[in-house]
Structure 1
Amino acid sequence: MLALALPAFGALVAEPLFVMADSAIVGHLGTPQLAGLGVAAALLQTGVNIFVFLAYATTAAVARRLGAGDLPAALRQGVDGIWLALLLGAAVVAVVLPAAPGLVGLFGASEAAAPHGVTYLRISALGIPAMLAVLAATGVLRGLQDTRTPLYVALGGFTANAGLNLLLVYGLHLGIAGSAWGTVIAQWAMAAVYLTVVVRGARRHGAPLRPDLAGIRACAQAGAPLLIRTLSLRAVLLIATAVAARLGDADVAAHQITLTLWSLLSFALDAIAIAGQAIIGRFLGASDEAGARAACRRMVQWGVLSGAVLGALVALVRPVFMPLFTTDPSVVDQLTPVLLVVAVTQPVAGVVFVLDGVLMGAGDGPYLAGAMLVTLALFAPAALLVPVLGGGLTALWWTVAGLMMGTRLVTLWLRARSGRWVVTGAVRA
């Protein structure tokens, strides 16, 4: 579990460094450029993150076939997932290029920032097919129990991205366009490395490389429930941000800082979930029901322990963490109790992430989609009532970290206890 989870965590953390590097470099061009980048980056991240099922569904399907001892079929499944990613990427590009001005406008970019946002968005959109192919190929390698290669590729991509941005922005004086082109080049280079690894493996084991419509359709069908799950989770976060904005400037500022920490904690816990996807898929593919159940129990223990450790760290480092983002007393006053809410609920989050990964590894996407829709249905009215009932940011975060995550815990725990996710064989019937 650790051999899979630790490199996975490194790869997950390396991905946000792309945006951080771009922000640091573009920030010295001026405030309008940085504001434009902020809007464009938010749009790009949303557009890519909703397709994260390309990694999750592929991991589970490949791991099952690997467990069944059919490596050529595992690689063929992975190739189909990559073809689906490229097709989806091309479709997204076709939408984003003409719609870029309207999309930037929807985010309320100023007249000074909007042109920079449009420039960055249009150029960076050319890297979306590569980004989606990287997601799918990462899923292939995770399914094959290899999380080290994604770590190395992510670190190499980050280094190339930073170097290219510095060269194109300041060396060739291309401005924000240079930053976008540097990122696109780095993303396609990462995709090329992944494709080389997968193609070599496919050729070595006799797996076909040509597009297979039936296989691509099967990948899309397997990923559709996870897409619903992801969209529902995104809706939860958007509702929370909208409610925080209604509470006041200090509240929304503290909310944004808390979300930043929440995302970092999620990366750590998601690494365990990724290990769970790969391990559970392989056990079920090998028709080892006892091994799958034992792995689930062990990973739940890891989830509780990891959540407890992360929660304790959050509580301890609060005095150091808050000054890194703000010195405004009103924001600090809001942050202090909210971060305690995050800290005490981390053991719950740890179990939720682990069980999410277990059920993904089992290919139990339809249940995950339904459970997340139930969670959204309970969370939305509760969150919207917070300002109506006179609650503040702390109350809002109890609905996020308490109600939302608690509901997910109940739904996932009930499914795990039922054993209905334990469906063995190379393909989930």
Structure 2
Amino acid sequence: MPLWVLFQDTRSIFSKDELNSEIAKIAIPATFGLMADPIASLVDTAFIGHLGPVELAAVGVAIAVFNQASKIAIFPLVSVTTSFVAEEDSATSSSSILDDIELQPRSKSDNEKMLLLPKHGPENTNKRRHVSSASSALLIGAMLGLIQAFLLIVSAKPLLSYMGIKSDSPMLSPAYKYLTLRSLGAPAVLLSLAMQGVFRGFKDTKTPLYAIVMGGVVNIVLDPILIFVFKMRVTGAAIAHVCSQYLISVVLLWKLIEQVDLLPPNINDLQLGRFLKNGFLLLVRVIAATFCVTLAASLSARLGSTEMAAFQVCLQVWLAASLLTDGLAVAGQAILAGAFARQDYESAKETAGRVLQLSLALGLVLAFIVGVGLTFSSGLFTKDVKVLQILSLGIPFVAATQPINSLAFVFDGINYGASDFRYSAFSMVLVAFASVACLLLLSSYYGFVGIWVALSIFMSLRAIAGVWRIGTASGPWSFLNIY
């Protein structure tokens, strides 16, 4: 099978070669950046958990609604932006090198040649880039953020009702307060994620990390002050999170303006049609995936506040640990997008194989860390004995699925790097149909455990879809047939 080509040369998986260095340079800062929002949610969860199980469950539902609504816009925007910026930047760099070669005179002295070489001298190091994809991403991100904020605020109560929080539920008031206030930060979230996509396309994940760390520190400092000192409870947690998001957005915009000319000379250069076409395909994919996770949270809420509180802790740890591997997906996408733009298929094959091997190794390590860590640290999230009992049932699933999740996330990044957006969308729709059926059936018979079995099936099917595309050497991977 062509897939086995990607698992050759496993001896180089931990070597200090050039490819591993490039992957690490992108993946490590990206991983910490991706972890920031789940960690912020975990911080909120830990503080709010000491207010009581009702508040913990309520905020859990509100976070699930906000996160799933955000993912509908974020992942298409960020994924498309990363690929397009990487392709455009790679093509521009290649063109610049060719221009330099052509402009070198053949009959003059070496000193004269050096004077005529453009673009690489010290005088040009601060020149801003002209990348139209960056302008497109920011424009679309700002618009989507405003729309998301409006829709979430207007439809907060119907959404919470769909999630199982009825009008007579004690969870309604804290959940409504948290969701509406946190929705005010949606424009900052979407705009900052669009800018992170631009920086990823430049293979620069350090700049977003610095901004995210600043925002995270602000969130951690404000949480206990607003929640306990000013006695604002869940309202304080939401305000702290919104403040951190706007700080991140301002810092990223300031740094991006220094590097990129955000005003293209012609509106046609914005490539809005291309963004919207491929963004729509990924939107279909994200809606399908989001529906599965949202349905799982809704089914947990219908079991009661105790089950929902346990599900919230498990879900946040599940997502936070899994996103460690998503840093590899970001690195794979950025490097592969440039390789495909240059039609460097040997580099594409080597990169895809390396990130898949690394993801599997990382997933196995995470399975052990999560299984042991969550078993002994669950008391940090709640002191409620009933919640802890149910939480212990979900820990084995959260831990055991880490290798599967790692492969699934990295396969996503690989396919995005190959601009294989159509297959990504349609395969996820098929996976979602099967997963929804499993969720409804297993939850009705086995409750909390059944929901986690279904989520494990969901992630397994996602990984299988990635294996199938590359394993059959179809679409952009047809070149694997020659190896």
Answer whether TM exceeds 0.5 for this pair. yes
SS at match of 1:421: helix
Corresponding residue SS for 2:73: coil
Correspondence list, 1:240-389, <5 A = 240-244=296-300, 254-317=310-373, 319-325=375-381, 338-386=394-442
Q: Is 1:61–1:74's contact at 8 Å kept on the other side of the alignment?
A: no
Q: CA offset at residue 136 of structure 1?
A: 0.5
**Which digits, 9 at most, give the CA deviation of each residue in 1:13-34, with x for residues without a partner?**
2223434455566778898877
SS of 1:282's partner is: helix
User: Which of 224, 242, 246 is the matching residue for 1:184?
Assistant: 242
Change (3 A) 1:178 1:213: farther
Residue 134 of structure 1: how far off its partner (Å): 0.5
Instruction: Provide, for residues 365-410 of structure 1, a one-character-per-residue CA deviation record: whole Å limited to 9, x for no partner.
Output: 111111111111222223322256x446545433322x32332222
Measured in 1, the distance between the counterparts of 2:51 and 2:378 equals: 27
Q: Which among 67, 88, 97 is matched to residue 90 of structure 2?
A: 67
Q: CA deviation at 1:293?
A: 1.1
Partner of 2:454: 399
State which structure, 1 or 2, has the greater radius of gyration over its C-alpha atoms: 2
For the structure 1 residues 113 and 212, does the alpha-carbon distance in structure 2 shift closer, same or farther, using more than 3 Å as the test? farther
Q: CA deviation at 1:254?
A: 4.8
Structure 1 residue runs of 5 or longer lacking an equivalent are 425-429
Matched, 1:145 2:203: yes
Aligned to 1:226: 282
Quote the residue 2:468 is aligned against: 414
Q: 3-state SS of the aligned residue for 2:343?
A: coil
Following the alignment from structure 1 to structure 2, what is the Cα–Cα distance between the partners of residues 300 and 26? 37
The answer to whether the Cα contact below 8 Å between 1:85 and 1:133 also exists between their aligned partners in 2 is yes
> In the aligned structure 2, how far is the partner of 1:183 from the partner of 1:244?
25
**In structure 2, distance between residues paired with 1:283 and 1:330:** 52
On the 8 A contact 2:420/2:475 being kept in 1, the answer is no
Matches within 5 A, 1:90-109: 90-104=146-160, 107-108=165-166
State whether residues 288 and 429 of structure 2, in contact with CA within 8 Å, keep that contact through their aligned partners in structure 1: yes
Q: Distance in 2 between matches of 1:233 and 1:49?
A: 9
Is the contact made by 1:130 and 1:191 (CA closer than 8 Å) also made in structure 2? yes
Q: For residues 63-212 of structure 1, what are the structure 2 equivalents within 5 Å?
A: 63-70=86-93, 75-104=131-160, 107-108=165-166, 114=172, 117-164=175-222, 180-203=238-261, 208=264
| Count of residues in correspondence between the two structures | 420
1:243-301 deviations in whole A, cap 9, x for unaligned? 55677877655544432331122111211111111111121122211101110011111
Contact 2:211 2:251 in 1 (8 A): yes
Change (3 A) 1:60 1:39: same
Q: Tell me whether 1:51 sits opposite 2:73 in the alignment.
A: yes
Q: CA deviation at 1:302?
A: 0.6
Cα distance, 1:127 vs structure 2: 2.2
Structure 2: how far apart are the matches of 1:338 and 1:31?
17
For 2:374 and 2:47, locate their aligned partners in 1 and report how far apart those are by CA, in whole Å.
28
Letter in 2 for 1:155: V
Contact 1:33 1:176 in 2 (8 A): yes
AA paired with 1:373?
V
SS in 1 for 2:419: coil
Partner Cα distance (1:246, 1:404) in 2: 20
Structure 2: unaligned runs, 5 residues or longer: 1-22, 97-127
Asked whether the equivalents of residues 339 and 345 of structure 2 are also in contact (C-alpha less than 8 Å), the reply is: yes
Identity %: 28
2:453 counterpart letter in structure 1: W
Displacement of 1:212: 5.6
Quick one: which amino acid aligns to residue 9 of structure 1?
T
